[in-house]
Amino acid sequence: MAATRIDEPPSVTVRYHDLNLNSSEGVASLYRRIHAAAVDVCESAEGPQLVNRVFWKEWNSCVNHAVAAAVHAVNNEKLSAYHWERIRGWRKVATPITVVTR
């Protein structure tokens, strides 16, 4: 394992060459991998203090930033849309909406 420079933030490499990012399953799988890596990185950054509720806001902020940065780095439209849906809590509308103009 290579040593990390003191001024570099912790990082994890997420591999996804085995995934088909043209499928919703592949995108969801990559997103889960990214989120798990973000949790690992942020957990090591916060250390044992994470168990204290005071640090939950900082931990969530760390995870959210790490996920967003990774999604941006992948530069895949479907992954970006998947991430957007997750952070905005959008749901598919079960019934179509009809707009009528007069």
Asked whether residue 41 is assigned to any structural domain, the reply reads: yes
Domain count, the chain: 1
**Confidence at residue 5, expressed as pLDDT on a 0 to 100 scale:** 57
CA–CA gap between residue 74 and residue 67 (Å, rounded): 11
Whether 76 contacts 29, CB under 8 Å: no
Structure tokens, 55: 């640090």
Rounded Cα gap, residues 64 and 38, in angstroms: 8
The verdict on residue 79 lying in a domain is yes
pTM of the entire structure? 0.72
Residue 90: Cβ-neighbour burial (10 angstroms; 0-12, 13-18, 19+): exposed
Domain presence at residue 102: no
**Nearest residue to 29 (alpha-carbon basis) of 64, 76, 65:** 76
Does the structure show a pLDDT above 80 at 83? yes
**pLDDT tens, 20-68?**
999 999 999 999 999 999 988 887 655 555 556 556 788 888 899 999 9
pLDDT for position 46: 54
Residue 3 has pLDDT above 80, yes or no: no
Domain that holds residue 65: 24-88
5 domain residue, yes or no: no
In a domain, 29, yes or no: yes
